Structure 1
Amino acid sequence: MMGFTDLLVIITIIFYFLSTASYFAYLFFQKDYLHRLGIYILGTGFVAHTTLIGTTFMHIGSIPAHNLHQTLSLAGWILAGVFLTFQYRFGLRVLGIFIAPLATFTMIISSRLPITPDRLDESFKSFWLILHVVIIFTGEAAFALACGVGILYLLQEHAIKTKKRGFFFNRLPSLEMLDSTGYACIITGFTMVTIGLLSGFLYARSIWGRFWSWDPKEVWSGIMWLFYAALLHERLVVGWRGRKSAIMSIIGFVVLLFTFLGVNFFLKGHHGDFTQW
C-alpha cells in the first residue's frame, strides 16, 4: 500500500516534470504565460518536496541524508529552492530549462533507490552536521546554477559570433546579464561552501576528535573550494569574464559532481554513509 511519503515523492516528480515541460515550451514559443506556469508549477512541486523533507525529518529524527536516496532528494529540494530564490532576484527566466530537468532527474533517481538506511547513526542528529549539509548543498546548488548560466552564455556567444541569429539568439538574455548572473551564483556558492566547510570542521572535531583527517571527501572538497577560489581570484584580479568564466563554471560543476558522488563510489572514507545503497 502506498504511504504518505511515497505519494509526496510521486507528486513532487510530477510537478517538477510538468515545470520542465513548461520551461521548454517557453523556450520554443516565448510566451510569458508559459514561464509563469513553469515557475508556479515548480513552486508547487517545491512545497510538496518541502513537506516530504519535513515529514522524513520528523520520522527519523535527524537530517534526511542517511543514504543515497535521502541525499539526492535533499539535494534536489535545495536545488529547486535556490533556483526559485535566484529567479525572484534576477528574473533569468530561461534558466529553468536547465534546473527543472535536473531537479526532476535527481528525484527520479532518488525514488528508484532503497528508502530505508541500514542504520540510523546518532551522530546524524548533530547541529553542526545539519548546518554543514544544508549550507554545503545550498552552495553547490548555486554552483549548479552557475554551470547552467555558463552553458547558456556559450550558446548565446556562439549565436552572436556566427551572425546568423539562429534559434537561441532571441531566446537568451544578453551576454552581460548572463555573465553578471553567473558571477552572482559563484559568489553565493563560494560563500556558502566556505561556511559549510567550516561547520564541517567543527562537526569532525566533535565526532572524530580532529578538524581534518585527510578523508577523500575532505580532500576533494578542498580541491573544489580551491578551484572556485582561483576562478574568483582570476575574475577579480586578472579580469576573467565572459567565455573563460563560463567554461570554468562548467568545469567546476564537473569537479563538484565528482566530489559529491564519485568520491564516495570510488574512494573509501567516513562520508560513505551519505551515499550508501
Structure 2
Amino acid sequence: MVITLIKATIYWVAILYALAAGLYFWGEAAGKRPVLRLAWILAGTGCFSNLLLLVLRGILTGRLPLSNGSEFLLSFTWITVGLYLCLETRRQLKGVGGYVMFIAALFMLIVLMVMKGQLMETSPLMPALKSPWLSIHVLTAALAYAGFTLAAGLAAKKLFQADAGLMPDPIYRIIAAAFALLSLSIVSGAVWAEQVWGSYWTWDPKETWALITWIIYALYLHLYKKQNWQGRYACLVVMTGYLLVLFTFFGVNFLLPGLHSYAVQCINNTFVC
C-alpha cells in the first residue's frame, strides 16, 4: 500500500511542479495576477505532496528519509520550494517562481528516470551511515543547496529579464545564510569522516568539489562585502556556483569514484549527499 502511494505521489508532485513552473512563466510574461495566484496554489500543493512523499518514505523504511540520493533530492526539493513560497509571500518575488519551480520539476524528473528504484528500496543502512552525524550533515547540506537554488533563480531573473528591477541584497543574504550552512555541513562531514574513516579530510572527489564550491561562494561574499560587487558578473558567479553545487551532487556521485561512492557499490545505487 505504501509503495503504491509513493509511486502515485511522485508522479503527482512532478506534474504539479511542472504546471506551476509554466503558470509562473506565463503569468509573469502576461502580467496576469490570477494565473500567478494559481501557480502559487499549485506550487503549495506540490510542496505539501512532496512532504507527504517524504513521510511515506519514512514509514516504509522506519527512519528519516535522508540516506540515499532520491531521499536527499526529495528533501532538498521540498525545502527549496517551501523556502521560495515563504520568500514570495514576504517579498512578492513572483517572477522568480518559474525558474525555481522549473528546477524543482527537473529534479522530480531525475528521481523518476534515474533514482526511481531507490524510492522502493528498504535495505538496512550500512554501519557507516548509522550515525547521528548523518542527519546533521545531510540536513545542513539540503538547506544550503536549497538556498543556493533560490539565489540561482534570483540571479537568472536578473540576467534574463532586463526589467526585473530586483535588488541584489536578497541574493547576497540568501547566499550568506546558505554559505554558513554549507560550512557547517562540511565541518560535520569532516567530524563524521574521522569517526568512520579515521581522517577528517581525504581529498575525496566529493570533499574536493564541495571545497571548490565553498571557495566560489566565499569569493562572491567577499567581493560583495568589500567592493559592493553586483550586476551581471556577480550573477554569473552565483550561477557558476550553483552549477558546481549540481556537479558536486550529480557529477561526483555518478562519475567520480571515491569514499563517498562506497554506498553506490553496496546498497543498490545508494549514495548520500
Check whether TM > 0.5: yes
8 Å Cα contact 1:69-1:111 kept in structure 2 = no
Counterpart residue number, 1:225 = 214
SS in structure 1 opposite 2:259? coil
1:23, distance to aligned residue in structure 2 (A) = 0.7
Partner of 2:160: 155
Residues 46-89 of structure 1: CA deviation (Å, up to 9, x unaligned)? 11110111221232133434443333323322221222232233
Map Cα deviations across residues 199-220 of structure 1 (whole Å, 9 max, x no partner): 2122223322332222110111
Query: Residues 1-12 of structure 1 correspond to what in structure 2 (within 5 A)?
Result: 3-12=4-13
* Whole-Å separation in 2 of the counterparts to 1:124 and 1:86: 34
**2:136 pairs with 1:143:** no
Partner of 1:264: 253
1:207/1:85 Cα in 2 relative to 1: closer, same or farther (>3 Å)? farther
Q: 2:269 maps to what in 1?
A: 276
Residue of structure 2 equivalent to 1:164: none
CA distance in 1, matches of 2:45, 2:152: 25
In structure 2, the residue matched to 1:165 is none
1:166 is matched with none
- The letter for the 2-side match of 1:9 is I
Q: Does 1:181 align with 2:173?
A: no
Deviation at 1:7, TM superposition (A): 1.7
Deviation digits for residues 144-189 of structure 1 (CA, Å, limit 9, x no counterpart): 2211211211223xx4xxxxxxxxx3xx3x14x2x12211221121
SS of the counterpart of 2:257?
Answer: coil
Alignment match, 2:22: 21
Q: Distance in 2 between matches of 1:235 and 1:13?
A: 36
5 Å-filtered alignment, 1:87-106, equals: 87-106=88-107
Among all aligned residue pairs of Structure 1 and Structure 2, give the percentage whose two residues are the same amino acid.
31
Stretch moving more, 102-111 or 203-212: 203-212
Report the equivalent of 1:124.
129
**In the aligned structure 1, how far is the partner of 2:83 from the partner of 2:136?**
16
Question: Does the aligned pair in 1 maintain the 2:47–2:82 contact within 8 Å?
Answer: yes
User: What stretches of structure 1 of length at least 5 have no aligned partner?
Assistant: 160-168
Distance in 2 separating the partners of 1:69 and 1:136: 14
- Aligned CA distance change for structure 1 residues 10 and 119 (closer, same or farther; 3 Å): same
Q: Aligned in 2, Cα 1:62/1:269: closer, same or farther, shift over 3 Å?
A: farther
In 2: Cα distance, 1:71 partner to 1:207 partner: 21
Please give the root-mean-square deviation of Cα atoms over the aligned residues, in Å: 2.2
Q: Deviations over 1:107-143 (max 9, x none)?
A: 1220223234476324434221112111111111211
Distance 1:63 1:209, change over 3 A: farther
Distance (Å, rounded) in 2 between the aligned partners of 1:145 and 1:29: 23
Determine whether 1:134 maps to 2:139: yes
Letter in 2 for 1:220: W
Q: Distance in 2 between matches of 1:256 and 1:193?
A: 10
Contact 1:57 1:63 in 2 (8 A): yes
Letter in 2 for 1:276: N
Contact 2:72 2:138 survives alignment (8 Å):
no
1-side partners of 2:40 and 2:132: how far apart?
Answer: 32
